[in-house]
Amino acid sequence: MWTHHTIRIGRRALLKAGALVLATGPAGLAAADEPEQRDKNALRIGLITDLHYADKPPGGSRHYRETPRKLAEAAGRFRTSSPDFIVELGDFIDAADSVEKELTWLKTINETYSGICDDRHYVLGNHCVDTLKKEEFLEAVGRDRSYYSFDRAGYHFVVLDSCFRSDGEPYGRRNFTWTDANVPAEELDWLADDLKQTQKPTIVFAHQRLDVSNSHGVRNCPAVREVFEQSGKVRAVFQGHSHRNDHREIEGIHYCTMVAMVEGSGEESNGYSVMDLHSDGTITIDGFRRQNDYHWPAG
């Protein structure tokens, strides 16, 4: 059964945004809004998505050249908040007209991202592999796999790759339609086995949405959700792609869609968050600028 929850941006988030507007520079940013007292046993994660960095003029509401400045603000926040690791949820870059130009854009934005935290993760988005092939993107950011899992402080984490066509072919070099996103059989089998091997509560990171069956959703998302549900271990899924805040709870699993960094011009249009996984199982998401806050008690 589907239940749909839309959580409005809270007063605290609005106050944070207002304070940040008044602040000038990294020092002002930190002084305007010191991080809340941290549960010493909590695992802290920085989250960003849909940066779409490109050195090109705006396209509609997407202001590509403003992304480095927005990411610099998030980097300042993350350094103050001291996350244990950070995750970008896909569409790190936008499409270029050549591989060489695309790799230059990727190098530029990754210099800031990689300077935030040594423990960082990259989810492949469809724009990441529009011009590039997967192996080119991964090599450029120092990674060897597009989907994998890892453990930190009592939690299990899964990074998924839905950038595959319905016939199983991986995205790359404009060989796909963005609405044809799939988790292929091999990856689905790997996911089921991976979840069997862990006894830890699990958090999933994805790009394309796993909670909807519209153009922004993974085509075989019901099969992916069935694997999650049968495992009994997945607490929450964090995703991007549709650029807007959204939250749905399906069979006790939270599906949280994060706001895109690229949308809109100016500091006030930024969006990023810090998530704490508390020792009692509570999950809190502290959203900045346009990113919503959430608080989910232990189930």
Predicted pLDDT of residue 32: 36
Contact present, 264 and 257 (Cβ < 8 Å): no
Mean pLDDT by 10 residues, the chain (299 residues): 37 43 38 54 95 97 98 96 97 97 98 96 98 98 97 96 98 96 98 98 98 96 98 98 97 98 97 96 97 93
Residue with tokens 């988005």: 125
CA dihedral 17, 18, 21, 24 (to 10 degrees): -100
Does the global pTM surpass 0.85?
yes
Contact present, 198 and 230 (Cβ < 8 Å): no
Predicted pLDDT of residue 37: 61
Predicted pLDDT of residue 19: 42
With b meaning 16 or more CB within 10 Å and e meaning fewer, what string describes 218-247? bbbbeebbebbeeeebbbbbbbbbbbebbb
Instruction: Give the helix/strand (H/E) hosting 284.
Output: strand 283-289
Residue with tokens 């509560």: 201
Predicted pLDDT of residue 198: 98
Instruction: Show the domains of the chain with their CATH numbers.
Output: 9-33+42-296 (3.60.21.10)
Residue 11 neighbours by CB distance under 10 Å: 9
Distances (CA, A) of 257 to 26, 196, 206, 260, 277: 27, 26, 10, 9, 17
